[in-house]
Structure 1
Amino acid sequence: MSKHNRAFKIKLAQLVEEKNSEALGRKYRVSARLIRYWFQVYQINGSNSFIHKQLPYCSEFKTHVLKTMEMNNWSLGYTSAYFDLSSPGILFQWQKLYAREDISRLNPKNKGKPRVTNNSSTPKPSSEMTEKELREELDYLRAENAVLKKLEALAQARKKKAKTKR
């Protein structure tokens, strides 16, 4: 998700025709370079600018963009604006990945931590466990019990200390 909404980007892109991007950047607290990029996107795509339908970008789209840029000898900034990419820096990343490890690295990756499935929610009945598993569970339960007893003793000591201070 972009930090700035579509209407804001279009508004600033239109204002660049009247005002300097540096002055707009100071007024709206946005980088002048970013405002100039938005202006370029708006000039090329018009009112259809800043609509990112295919997020995350698929590998076929990425390779198409890179090949089009190479065939037409376009700059990173112009190609990013032409294809209405979320930022010009993203194309540079694609270019690096493509140069290093070809098309396979352009596949979108899942973001965030992988989901953890908790298989231990229903414990095995003791009749189905091996002797080793039973001993491991016994050791675990003994350690857990010792921790709980120590915690209870600490809580009692705090209560006793609080009473003596009064």
Structure 2
Amino acid sequence: MAKYSKTLKLKVVQHYLSGYGYPTTSKFFNIDQSLVRQWVAQYNKKGESAFSEKQIHRVLSLELKLAVMESVLIDGLSAREAMIKFDLKSPSQVFNWLRQYREHGIDGLKPKPKGRTKLMPKPIKLSKADQDKTQKELLEELAYLRAENAFLKKLKALTLEQEAKEAAEQQRLQDLYQD
């Protein structure tokens, strides 16, 4: 998508407002007619400040996004009309929100965390309950965890042994049928 200067946008709007229609203005400047409509509507709403060169990046709230969705889905506004009404950057922003809303519901409109995920997990902090335990309680818990660990090791060994027996039996049966 091409970027257009503030002066060009103002010339296009002034040309339209001087009595030429959308098609004539569009052909004269070799610009899509929908852009002419958009710029005229923005100019009518905010004046020359609608075309300020530097637009500040702003984080849009969930409430604003829901209001936009409501105006499009319930009130029947087009994406371009909603863009102008809520002072958004482009109608594609509205289309993206509509797609996200249809796919994921309200959760699709919630802000996503920015940046990379952390590779290292946070260190495990002992809870206050662990720090307040007596030595006897800690030793009992240690004995329980050791027993649980031994049980799981034995279970794993038995499972591996059983799988090995089944594999050996399967091999023996294959050998019998091959001979």
Cα 1:72–1:53, aligned 2, differ >3 Å: closer, same or farther? farther
Return the offset for 1:35.
0.8
Q: What is the CA–CA distance in structure 2 between the aligned matches of 1:110 and 1:87, rounded to whole Å?
A: 23
Q: What is the CA–CA distance in structure 1 between the aligned matches of 2:44 and 2:72, rounded to whole Å?
A: 18
Identical residues among aligned pairs (%): 25
Does 1 or 2 have the higher relative contact order (CA < 8 Å, sep 6+)? 1
**Alpha-carbon RMSD:** 3.4
Cα 1:15–1:110, aligned 2, differ >3 Å: closer, same or farther? farther
Tell me the equivalent position of 1:7.
7
SS in 2 for 1:9: helix
Cα displacement string for residues 63-94 of structure 1 (whole angstroms, at most 9, x for unaligned residues): 23223445644332221112232222321221
Tell me the equivalent position of 2:144.
none
Return the offset for 1:3.
0.9
TM-score of the two chains, using structure 2 as the length reference: 0.49
SS in 1 for 2:17: coil
Match of 1:63 among 66, 70, 79: 66
Q: Which residue identity lines up with residue 96 of structure 2 in the other structure?
A: Q
Task: Give the unaligned 5+ runs of structure 2.
Answer: 120-179
Q: Which residue identity lines up with residue 37 of structure 1 in the other structure?
A: Q
Match of 2:79 among 76, 80, 84: 76
TM-score of the two chains, using structure 1 as the length reference: 0.52
Tell me the equivalent position of 1:53.
56
Tell me the equivalent position of 1:32.
33
Query: Which structure has the larger Rg over C-alpha atoms?
Result: 2
Q: Is the 8 A contact 1:69 1:75 kept in 2?
A: yes
Q: What is the CA–CA distance in structure 2 between the aligned matches of 1:61 and 1:45, rounded to whole Å?
A: 19
Q: Which residue identity lines up with residue 95 of structure 2 in the other structure?
A: F
Task: Give the unaligned 5+ runs of structure 1.
Answer: 118-166
Matched residues, number? 115
